[in-house]
Amino acid sequence: MDRDARNLMRPINSDFTSSSSSSSNSDLFRSVQAALKRHRPLETSIRPKRMLAPRREVTKGSASSAAVVDTKSSRDVATQGQDNTAKESSVQPHDMPTSAKETQEDACVTAVSNSSSITHTFDENLDVPIDQTKPDIGASCHFESQGIDAQKKVQFSIGTGASSLEMEWVSISQAEASAVINHDSKHQNILNTEADICLKSDGGISLLAKRTTAAQDQLHQFRNFLSQPMTQSSVVGPSCATTTSVHATSAPMSTTYCSSLHSGYHMPVEPLKDSNVNPQPSNAPLRGTGAMSNPQIAVAAQPSTSAVDTQNEGKEYDLSKEQKGCKLSESEYQENPSLPDVKQTEVESYAGDVANARSQVTLPPNLCSDTKSEPSKSEKQEKAASGKVVPAPRKKNKDSDLFIKVNGKLYQRLGKIGSGGSSEVHKVISSDCTIYALKKIKLKGRDYATAFGFCQEIEYLNKLKGKNHIIQLIDYEVTDKALLHAVLSGSINNKDGRVKDDGYIYMVLEYGEIDLAHMLSQKWKEMDGSNQTIDENWLRFYWQQILLAVSTIHEERIVHSDLKPANFLLVRGSLKLIDFGIAKAIMSDTTNIQRDSQVGTLSYMSPEAFMCNETDADGNTIKCGRPSDIWSLGCILYQMVYGRTPFADYKTFWAKFKVITDPNHQISYEPVPNPWLLDLMRKCLAWDRNERWRIPELLQHPFLVPPVPTQPSSHDHSCKLLRLIGQNCTSDSEASKLVCQLKQLLEDPLPSTTSQLLTSRDQQCTLLCQVSKVCLQLQEHFQRDK
Ligand SMILES: Nc1ncnc2c1ncn2[C@@H]1O[C@H](COP(=O)(O)OP(=O)(O)OP(=O)(O)O)[C@@H](O)[C@H]1O
């Protein structure tokens, strides 16, 4: 178990039994610490804790908006905060047990969230990397074959559905839990830090001095990072549309959620005006870090003379004293998990909240110890959970790993979100405290044609700038300028050459909280065991969002080619489309695109995508166009309705290939309460691509726009024939649809205009023509069904 995990799991109160350390020294140490915590003098230990609570109370509102998933402990803290506000003027000894209890709770929660590590695997139905707890049972397979020009890939995602689905769900819960408990674990951290400081003051044992030096260095680096005035921090919450914006330069710190969340200090907020701020002397107040201020930095890096809390001036921790104390060796430190571990606050979660983001920003991993150089916690957890021996931390400056520069702007890595076939995506925070996703594509060793293909994603995203349902590209950099030039000019000279230099493509993207694949698995998990069917309104809402996203690209003559739930991200309540890695623009002279190789993700691939460029029975070349995307949408809808893709039963590539390319194969549809839903799925999953509906039609499908049942009225008598026909074909969705259309045309031919406007002969002829056309269709339908 790594040190972080041990720290997070340790009990805080005095009654703990050693659950984390095998070392008797550390047991003893922690016992002493706990005892001291219980009995420490109020002046040195309780005050900051008292001061934490009111801050929380003040910011409770924003907290709740930022972190949708709330835990009991965080609520407790908030409540406690309220209570304590009233008592602020007088220190009450009985504050102590409450705090201890709280931290113990937090510790428990933290232990759960840290007891598993996160790895990536793939779910059969979802075809996305999912966070999975170790051990890696029920692993599904994710094959990826490079096509002719490498970036054209076919992903085969086959596996063991139930188990991986289960795993995924667990991990989601954990991710959320970890998102929630972050600030509480940090709170606990402060308490621990306090306790340790007390202990060290008394006992004279300190590693803190060393860490403080590191902290100051780090702080200096971070000040440079924050060279621009901070204007806004915008962080999205876990699974719902939640955004918290903090105007650090204008809002008082005490009103922001995160900045004051754990702070026992009132930090002055000033924008950094000088990017080359020298490291502050150790007794200087923490200025300029503004919203980034963190009490742990304050505790670790500020001496008692800190001006941050004038009320408590002279009673703050005297760090210089600490620095004079003797230091623990690194090994001693490793064996003493109860020592303050600032890194403990570096928690990565899929859906971080503001508090997380800030603590992560203020406390880069190597802040607390110069011996810690792991690139990220999740990576460390992966290693730990895989049973491999985690090597002792090496002394290495990992700042290059910590910050990623794109076009001269620094972004601090908060953790790896995932990696695709060709890229790594990191959660990052910019100097103005906005969370982004940073996609990093390594080009070295790839041929220019492939690299060119990667760059096209940038092109598409640029083209789709400002479109609501497309993930927004904030900034990008292609380090190989020749390549970028080639992309911009639309031609590559060196097509067969390989990118030799260490070239990268960086894309700074809007950050998505959760993808549809995870949302779906959550939804199915919720319904697990019950006889419920999927909530139709939920389905309608997200289906419409999906259609709007795809409509946007189809209007721009772009075929995505890899539509799957994992490529729709939830951003502030809207689904947005990502991953244009294999998208293709439709040439102006055709409605189809020609592909160099098969593309897409197997479970969502259309028959024509499997047979792309082959010739059909009539000798025509099979091409992929917008209908191919519609097929993929059909598979997504099917999955939303039934919880699995239409060909999930066919496990191997060849089985899938055979069944999907077979025009006579009948997809099975279990009965659903709404016949329109069946009709909709059929419209998308028509084998013949010419029969598939287009997006504009799908947006008007009666499943999304249910025909309003008309009240029997005198007017209705004129449509008696239609009513009678309609009553007799309720189970025939095709006939019902035609009857509805006819009714609509007869009753309200131009809903948006008044009937007086129906004056033009042409308009009247058009409408009559439409009526006869629908009548004819209905008649033919009945004749076929006879
Ligand atoms: N803007 C974003 N916000 C949050 N997560 C993102 C964002 N963009 C991508 N991701 C996540 O990063 C991972 C990989 O992203 P992406 O699909 O773009 O990479 P890729 O290399 O094209 O992968 P694929 O193998 O799916 O083609 C996915 O888990 C995805 O959900």
Residue nearest to atom 13 of ligand 1 (CA): 418
**H or E element in which residue 391 lies:** none
Going from the Cα of 418 to the center of ligand 1, the distance in angstroms, rounded, reads 6
The ligand 1 atom at the shortest distance from the C-alpha of residue 511 is: 3
Residue 140, classified by CB atoms within 10 Å of its CB into exposed (0-12), middle (13-18) or buried (19+), is: buried
pLDDT at 29: 52
Indicate the SS3 state at residue 482.
helix
Going from the Cα of 328 to the center of ligand 1, the distance in angstroms, rounded, reads 43
In this structure, which long-range contacts are made by residues 663-667, counting pairs with CB atoms below 8 Å and at least 24 apart in sequence? 663/607, 663/687, 663/688, 667/638
Residue nearest to atom 28 of ligand 1 (CA): 418
Structure-block tokens of residue 110: 């933290």
The whole-angstrom separation of Cα 643 and Cα 660 is 19
Residue nearest to atom 15 of ligand 1 (CA): 420
Going from the Cα of 681 to the center of ligand 1, the distance in angstroms, rounded, reads 27
Residue nearest to atom 10 of ligand 1 (CA): 425
The ligand 1 atom at the shortest distance from the C-alpha of residue 562 is: 27
Cβ atoms of residues 327 and 355 within 8 Å:
no
Every domain range in the chain assigned CATH 1.10.510.10: 513-709
Indicate the SS3 state at residue 134.
coil
Residue nearest to atom 18 of ligand 1 (CA): 579
pLDDT at 286: 28
pLDDT at 763: 76
Which CATH architecture is the domain 400-511 placed in? 2-Layer Sandwich (3.30)
The whole-angstrom separation of Cα 375 and Cα 378 is 9
Q: Please enumerate, by residue number, every residue annotated as part of a binding site for ATP.
A: 439
For 738, other C-beta atoms within 10 Å of its C-beta total 25
Residue nearest to atom 30 of ligand 1 (CA): 418
Q: Please enumerate, by residue number, every residue annotated as part of a binding site.
A: 439
Measured CA to CA in angstroms, residue 122 lies from 328, 498, 650 at distances of 44, 30, 17
Backbone φ and ψ for 486, nearest 5 degrees, come out as -60, -40
Q: Which residues of 677-709 are buried (b: 16+ CB within 10 A; e: fewer)?
A: bbbbbbbbbbbebeebbebeebeebbbbeeeee
- The maximal CA–CA distance of the chain, rounded, in angstroms, is 99
With the most atoms of ligand 1 within 8 angstroms of its CB, the residue from 156, 423, 560, 577 to mutate is 423
The whole-angstrom separation of Cα 476 and Cα 497 is 23
Cβ atoms of residues 564 and 636 within 8 Å:
yes
The secondary structure of 417-465 as a DSSP string is EEE-SSEEEEEEEETTSBEEEEEEEE-TT-BHHHHHHHHHHHHHHHHTT
Indicate the SS3 state at residue 786.
coil
Nearest to 52 by CA among 260, 304, 211, 351: 260
Residue nearest to atom 21 of ligand 1 (CA): 420
Rounded to 5 degrees, what angle do the CA atoms 262, 94, 205 make?
60
Going from the Cα of 120 to the center of ligand 1, the distance in angstroms, rounded, reads 13
Nearest to 541 by CA among 241, 219, 184: 241
Catalytic (active site) residue 562: yes
Structure-block tokens of residue 84: 């304590």
Cβ atoms of residues 131 and 91 within 8 Å:
no
The whole-angstrom separation of Cα 287 and Cα 290 is 7
Going from the Cα of 486 to the center of ligand 1, the distance in angstroms, rounded, reads 25
Q: Which residues contact ligand 1 via a Cβ below 6 A? A: 128-129, 417-423, 425, 437, 439, 471, 509-512, 515, 566, 569, 578-579, 581
The whole-angstrom separation of Cα 234 and Cα 608 is 43
Nearby residues of 181 by Cβ (< 8 Å), 6 or more positions away: 71, 73, 74, 106, 109, 110, 113, 347
Say what the ipTM of the complex is.
0.96
Nearby residues of 609 by Cβ (< 8 Å), 6 or more positions away: 561, 595, 598, 599, 600, 624, 628, 631
Every domain range in the chain assigned CATH 3.30.200.20: 400-511
The whole-angstrom separation of Cα 249 and Cα 96 is 34
Nearby residues of 189 by Cβ (< 8 Å), 6 or more positions away: 262, 296, 340, 341, 342, 344, 345
Cβ atoms of residues 152 and 599 within 8 Å:
yes
The ligand 1 atom at the shortest distance from the C-alpha of residue 128 is: 29
The whole-angstrom separation of Cα 521 and Cα 123 is 10
The ligand 1 atom at the shortest distance from the C-alpha of residue 422 is: 21
Q: Mean pLDDT, 10 residues at a time, over the chain (786 residues)?
A: 38 36 48 44 34 34 36 37 37 36 32 32 37 34 33 36 33 34 38 37 41 54 51 33 30 29 32 34 31 32 33 33 33 34 33 40 35 39 47 54 91 90 89 95 82 85 95 92 71 68 89 95 83 86 97 94 94 94 62 48 90 80 89 97 94 92 94 93 95 96 85 61 78 80 77 56 82 88 81
Going from the Cα of 627 to the center of ligand 1, the distance in angstroms, rounded, reads 24
Instruction: Kindly name the residue from 562, 579, 629, 679 that is annotated as catalytic.
Output: 562
With the most atoms of ligand 1 within 8 angstroms of its CB, the residue from 417, 472, 508, 602 to mutate is 417
Measured CA to CA in angstroms, residue 281 lies from 215, 217, 299, 314, 326 at distances of 12, 11, 15, 17, 22
The fold adopted by the segment(s) 513-709 is Transferase(Phosphotransferase); domain 1 (1.10.510)
Residue 721, classified by CB atoms within 10 Å of its CB into exposed (0-12), middle (13-18) or buried (19+), is: exposed
With the most atoms of ligand 1 within 8 angstroms of its CB, the residue from 579, 580, 601 to mutate is 579
pTM exceeding 0.90 = no
Helix 42-58 / helix 161-203 crossing angle, nearest 10 deg: 140
The ligand 1 atom at the shortest distance from the C-alpha of residue 457 is: 22
Measured CA to CA in angstroms, residue 100 lies from 110, 111, 753 at distances of 15, 16, 69
The whole-angstrom separation of Cα 713 and Cα 699 is 30
Going from the Cα of 637 to the center of ligand 1, the distance in angstroms, rounded, reads 21
